[in-house]
Structure 1
Amino acid sequence: MDAIVKTFPNKESESDRPSQAEAEAAVRTLLRWVGDDPDREGLIDTPKRVAKAYRDLFGGYDEDPEDVLGRTFEEVSGYDDIVLMRDIPFFSHCEHHMVPIIGRAHVAYLPDGKVVGLSKIARVIDIFARRLQTQEAMTAQIAHSIDETLRPLGVAVMVEGEHMCMAMRGIRKQGSTTMTTTFTGQFKSDAQQQVRFMTMLKGFAAR
């Protein structure tokens, strides 16, 4: 669990962060470093645009998944079986090269007397995706965040992603997909629950 906790960055106060002007200056430096002229017409406003885009793309550092998952519902009419959300799209950025990871996530949990709004699960995925990531860490973060906050009987997470650091550079293999999984609670201890999770995913895919 310690390894998971370390991947949850501390929120920086606005006073601790570089200023907008410093961020824009850094972009200008990169433009010069790649061999272009930041003062030419097409690039004059690029530093400002990039800084604004980064605020959005990495907005997950300013959000806490615990806040998102805090409101639950106990009126479930006795429902106690798997809740599965499949094919939740996401985009993230590789922490090694800062290029995109594009994929989809599948999340299931076994409720223990209470459920959470379905949109909240998607928001949790976005919070972790909108940070510099490895797919392995992001998969574990999603599962453990739901597990720690909702306290279900078990959580199952599968993430499929295409990494642009493989597609755009290095070996340049477009279309290759990486799959990662994390299981907690009954999904981890009971192989039959894992089989049910995989079977439900396969059943959806067959439609």
Structure 2
Amino acid sequence: MDAIVSLLARHREDEPGHAAGRPTREEAEAAVRTLIRWAGDDPKREGLAETPERVVRAYREFFKGYGQDPLEILSRTFEETAGYDDMVLVRDIEVASHCEHHMVPFVGKAHVAYLPSGRVVGLSKIARVVEVFARRLQTQETMTAQIADAMATALKPRGVAVLVDAVHQCMSLRGVQKPNVSTITTQFTGAFKADAVLQARFFELIRHAR
């Protein structure tokens, strides 16, 4: 288990001579075999023989956000906006992350808005920033704050609003075992933090039917 946690704590893919102290792929696969044995099964049986390799490949995909820089993603902006300075909202961004306490998924949607200050960013970049932070071991609260902070730092807008609505399988599959319980987190900066009317408009736009 320690080897897997250490594997996820680094920011880049395995490379020769890179990230001193980071476990090798072989060590990570060995850790998966240990977990299989601890669960009570035989990692050598046919159905599980290739599972350690599959798990390590999957973890690289699940946690690829460690090797990505959200500020770099947001670095290219556009000034030609014909004077537009109202709210820009990208809603219903699919989120699939993993709880850092139990390493099981939480899944939901993120809604991100900002008030431009002279420049705007490509809409797909906002979804990519959400993905960067989701593809790490997370708490929903931390992820929500990180998205808002990255937007505020990179774009210098007049304000940022983020809402994440997700279902946590650490509540659905273990512990209290209450399925479909939704958790909502919000983070506001700048004008959104200071203006309750602006916050209400943000919530209304999220709720508005397509």
Question: What is the TM-score when the length of structure 2 is the normalising length?
Answer: 0.91
**What is the deviation of 1:200?**
1.2
Greater shift, 84-93 or 13-22, is seen at 13-22
Q: Share of identical aligned residues, percent?
A: 60
Residues 72 and 16 of structure 1: CA distance in aligned 2, closer, same or farther (over 3 Å)? farther
**Are 2:115 and 1:97 aligned?**
no
Q: Secondary structure at the match of 1:81?
A: coil
Question: What is the TM-score when the length of structure 1 is the normalising length?
Answer: 0.92
Residues 142 and 115 of structure 1: CA distance in aligned 2, closer, same or farther (over 3 Å)? same
- Could you say which residue in structure 2 is the equivalent of 1:131? 136
**Are 2:161 and 1:156 aligned?**
yes
Whether the aligned pair in 1 keeps the contact of 2:10 and 2:22 (CA below 8 Å) is no
Q: How many residues align?
A: 197
1:122 to 119, 123, 127: 127
- Could you say which residue in structure 2 is the equivalent of 1:6? none
**What is the deviation of 1:11?**
3.7
**What is the deviation of 1:116?**
0.3
Residues 136 and 108 of structure 1: CA distance in aligned 2, closer, same or farther (over 3 Å)? same
1:66 to 62, 71, 74: 71
**Are 2:80 and 1:75 aligned?**
yes
Cα distance in 2 between the residues matched to 1:10 and 1:153: 34
Please list, as runs of the form range in 1=range in 2, the aligned pairs for 1:11-26 lying within 5 A after superposition.
Answer: 11=11, 13-26=18-31
**Are 2:97 and 1:112 aligned?**
no
Any runs of at least 4 consecutive aligned residues in structure 1 with deviations exceeding 6 A, and if so which?
Answer: none
Cα distance in 2 between the residues matched to 1:58 and 1:180: 22
Cα distance in 2 between the residues matched to 1:110 and 1:195: 15
1:46 to 20, 45, 51: 51
- Could you say which residue in structure 1 is the equivalent of 2:199? 194
Cα distance in 2 between the residues matched to 1:185 and 1:15: 40
Q: Secondary structure at the match of 1:136?
A: helix
Q: Secondary structure at the match of 1:170?
A: coil
Partner amino acid, structure 2, of 1:47? P
- Could you say which residue in structure 1 is the equivalent of 2:147? 142
